[in-house]
Amino acid sequence: MKVCLDTNVLVAAFATRGLCADLLRTVVTKHELVIGEVILTELRRVLRTRIRLPDAQLRSVEAALAQYPVVPKPTAPTMIELRDHSDRWIIATAVDGGADALVTGDQDLLIARASAPLPIVDPREFWELLRRGSRG
């Protein structure tokens, strides 16, 4: 399964222990991570300015993600109307990367799931989906 993890999931995965870190490990070991230029740019900004991750740790995060193909910034955002225009680029990235699912904690994206061209789920829903899949 090709899985696009939104910026907030990646921030939580690298900044804390818990569900998002477990999801990232599972995706990179058993599935295919879809990461985009748009997501990487936002991830760097958030880790540097909000989390205040030291430069050495930021370089480690970048090195860890450098081994995965990066989806270039899409030529256009999705046409789905969202409160935060930048979220339209996240959906477009997931679609351009051929993702089977977009995992996010962003409520604006989760609200848009009914009109999205791919499943959008929160981290807990995705974890449960993976657990059910491994049992059946």
pLDDT reported for residue 132: 87
pLDDT level of residue 6 (50, 70, 90 thresholds): very high
Q: In the numeric block, which tokens belong to residue 71?
A: 């989806």
Are 79 and 54 spatial neighbours (Cβ–Cβ below 8 Å)? no
- Using one digit for the tens of pLDDT, what is the confidence trace for 32-42? 999 999 999 99
For domain 2-135, the CATH architecture is: 3-Layer(aba) Sandwich (3.40)
pLDDT reported for residue 135: 58
φ/ψ (deg, to 5) at 3: -125, 125
DSSP annotation of 53:
-
When comparing pLDDT for 84 and 126, which is higher?
126
pLDDT reported for residue 84: 85
What is the rounded distance in angstroms from the CA atom of residue 136 to the CA atom of residue 121? 20
Residue 69 has pLDDT above 70, yes or no: yes
How many CB atoms are located within 10 Å of the residue 121 CB? 19
- Candidates 4, 7, 5; CA nearest to 47 is 7
Q: In the numeric block, which tokens belong to residue 56?
A: 């050495």
Domain limits of the chain?
Answer: 2-135
